[in-house]
Chains A and B, each alone.
Chain A
Amino acid sequence: DTAVSQTPKYLVTQMGNDKSIKCEQNLGHDTMYWYKQDSKKFLKIMFSYNNKELIINETVPNRFSPKSPDKAHLNLHINSLELGDSAVYFCASSQRGTLNQPQHFGDGTRLSIL
C-alpha cells in the first residue's frame, strides 16, 4: 500500500552510462516531482509534471530527461552520468487545487557513480 514508490532503491554505475529511475504514486494525485538531495542533505526540486505536462524545470542539465506516461508515473532518465550526479533522488506527488496540499515523498533512489 506504498503511496509513492521508486525503483531501484540503490543504483551503482560507471561514469558515462545511461540509467533510469522509475516512480509511481497510487494517491490519485495529478502533480509529480523529482528532487535531488546532495551529501549535505540539501533538497532541491528538479522537475514538476502536472497531468503529463512539464511545469517546472529548474535549469537541470539536459542530460536529465523526465518522462510521464500518465499522471501516476514520472520516470527520470539520465544520460552520460557524471560523478556530480551522485546523490539521492526523491520522487514526490501532490494534488493541485485551490488550497495547497503537502507533497508526499518516496523513499529515494541512492545513485552512486564510480
Chain B
Amino acid sequence: GESVGLHLPTLSVQEGDNSIINCAYSNSASDYFIWYKQESGKGPQFIIDIRSNMDKRQGQRVTVLLNKTVKHLSLQIAATQPGDSAVYFCAENVSFSGGYNKLIFGAGTRLAVHP
C-alpha cells in the first residue's frame, strides 16, 4: 500500500507485481519530464523521460504516462524486482530564454520490494 506522512511516501509491493508511482507537477509551462531513481548513497539515475507533446512512453519494463490536463505523471514498473527498491523522483523541466532550463523535483516516493 501507499502511505503519506512526515516521512517519504512509501510504496510497498511484492516481487513480481507491477508498481505505479504517481507525481503531480505544478507548472503548466513545463515541457519535458524525467523520472529518476536514487539508490542509497548514490545520485539520481535517469530512468525515462517524456516530452509534453506525448502522453505515453515505454522503456524496458517501465512506462511513463503524462496527463497534462490534471498535471499528473506516473511511472509504471512491470514485474518489480528487488533491485528496483529505491527512491523515485519525478522532475519537471522549465525552459527559459536563451535555451536554458532547470529541473524542479517532486518530493520522491520510496519503493520497497518484498520477496
Q: Is the CB of B107 within 8 A of A102?
A: no
Convert B85-100 into 0s and 1s, putting 1 for each residue whose CB lies closer than 8 angstroms to a CB of A: 0010100010100111
- CB < 8 Å: which of A4, A42, A98, A102 contacts B105? A42
Q: Which residues of B contact A114 (CB under 8 A)?
A: none
Q: Which residues of A contact B42 (CB under 8 A)?
A: 107-108
User: Can you list 17 pairs linking A and B with CB atoms under 8 Å apart?
Assistant: A31-B100, A40-B8, A45-B104, A48-B100, A55-B98, A55-B100, A90-B43, A100-B51, A100-B93, A100-B95, A100-B101, A102-B46, A102-B49, A105-B36, A105-B43, A107-B42, A108-B41
Binding site for A on B (CB under 8 A): 8, 31-32, 34, 36, 38, 41-46, 49, 51, 87, 89, 93, 95, 98-105, 107-108
Binding site for B on A (CB under 8 A): 4, 31, 33, 40-45, 48, 50, 55-56, 90, 92, 96-100, 102-108
